[in-house]
Structure 1
Amino acid sequence: MGKPFLISVVTILLCLRLSIMPLPWLVTAYSSNLTDQSTLLAFKARILLYDPHNILAYNWTTSSSFCNGMGVSCSHRRQRVTALKVANMGIGGTIEPRLCNLSFLAQLDLSNNSFQGHLPNGIGQLARLRRIDLSWNQLDRMIPPNLSNCRKLEEISLSVNQLTGGVPREIGMLPNLRILATTNNGLNGTILVSMGNLSSLQVFAFRTC
């Protein structure tokens, strides 16, 4: 065998090895999908005792894609969670803090349930979030000021809870906010001057206790 033949064999073997190696973007996509799946399962585990009809207990399983779960919507290309809508299901418990790991989440609707406790600060990390509806629950404590980090927010609906404090002035920094509803809470204070900066605001429902 001549030297050129050996070089060809080595080249073929090298190409075969490279072809079966996982590309970095594939590894990243796979790990990201696992993050979304584990986050949804953690959400389910936290409300397991407050799911009287076992709606999510039997629907969200590892036997099928999490994108097929009730109330879950995913992007077609990346298969990442873009919406979580589990309104009017009679579920409750506390909100899973790891929801902030759903980095593609654009809509979060947990309205008309029995969620308690505080709104996790981590939700302020959801840069793609456009709509959040947590109305008609039993949430308490203050509205996280870092919701202002969600620069794409168009709707914040928090009415009929047990929230205290006031509407954070940072909310007035959201350029696309159209709806801000916080009635029937334990909020106090006055309408902030910064609300005047919300040029896109169409609905502002605010009432102190």
Structure 2
Amino acid sequence: MESPNSPLSTWDENLTPCNWTGVFCNKQSQRVVRLDLSDLRMTGSISPHIGNLSFLESLQLQNNQLTGQLPYEFGNLFRLRFLNLSFNSLEGVIPRNISQCKQLRVLDLMQNQISGQIPEEISYLTQLQVLNLGRNELSSSIPPSLANISSLTDLNLGTNKLGNSIPSDLALLRNLKFLDLTINNLTGSVPPSIYNMSSLVYLALASNNLSGDLPVDIGLTLPNLLGFNFCFNKFTGTIPRSLHNLTNIPNH
């Protein structure tokens, strides 16, 4: 990775990395536990040597100009809790061995060029709270196994090329507050169980090929909604009167 006129140019090999800008170490062990190199206009690719930082808990490289693929060596970072690579130009697939990062709480890959399928192995990240894969080139179906991540509060798969139907198993995510599936190729009707996810605060299904009627009691079964977007689909029937019960939604 390179960055003109950035803190990286001040890194001195004669000094301990713990004194480098953007590098944070455990005070006792002097091991690198956090890298924050966001917003530095960095170019180039992520080195596979990143996998040698086995004590790393947080890696933040968002808002740069990074290219290339996600290193397979990410799977060596078994202490990693936060991984934010959003707003770059990374490509290729999500490494399946990301499942070895079992401490992950946040996985944010938004706004890249990542393709292929969402690997089933992501469902092994049972402590994950935020999964943001929006604005990529992901295809195939939404894995029903994502429902195994019971700790999820935010799931963003919007603006990809995902097809087939919405898995009804997603309704098992009892802690989910944010669900964005907009701008994909999803078809069929929305599983009734999705409309019973009372924890949801935001539900966005716009710009797909979804069909069917909206349930008459949607305003009662989703009482905590602050925002929803169902436009540009193939829904039929009438607008449920129960939506008037969603008094927390701001007027625009």
TM class by shorter chain equals 0.7 to 0.9
Shift in Å, 1:132: 0.3
Shift in Å, 1:152: 0.5
Deviation string, structure 1 residues 106-126 (Cα, Å, up to 9, x no partner): 001100001100000011111
Deviation string, structure 1 residues 151-189 (Cα, Å, up to 9, x no partner): 101110000000001210100111100000011111112
Q: 1:157 aligns to what?
A: 108
More helix by share: 1
Q: 1:137 aligns with which of 81, 88, 101?
A: 88
Please, what TM-score do these two structures have when normalized by structure 2?
A: 0.62
What is the DSSP-based 3-state SS (H/G/I as helix, E as strand, rest coil) of the residue aligned with 1:112? coil
Q: 1:9 aligns to what?
A: none
Distance 1:54 1:157 in 2: 23
Q: 1:87 aligns to what?
A: 38
| Runs of at least 5 residues in structure 1 that lack an aligned partner in the other structure | 1-46
Distance 1:165 1:64 in 2: 41
| Runs of at least 5 residues in structure 2 that lack an aligned partner in the other structure | 162-252
Whether 2:64 is the aligned partner of 1:113: answer yes
Kept in 1, the 8 Å contact 2:6–2:40? The answer is: no
Q: 1:197 aligns to what?
A: 148
Q: Choose 1 or 2 for highest CA Rg.
A: 1
Shift in Å, 1:51: 1.4
Distance 2:31 2:84 in 1: 20
Q: How many residues align?
A: 160
Q: 2:14 aligns to what?
A: 63
Q: 1:52 aligns to what?
A: 4
Shift in Å, 1:53: 1.4
Shift in Å, 1:146: 0.5
Matched residue type, 1:136:
F
Shift in Å, 1:64: 2.4
Matched residue type, 2:111:
V
Please, what TM-score do these two structures have when normalized by structure 1?
A: 0.74
Whether 2:44 is the aligned partner of 1:96: answer no
Matched residue type, 2:3:
D
Larger RCO, structures 1/2 (Cα 8 Å, 6+ apart):
1
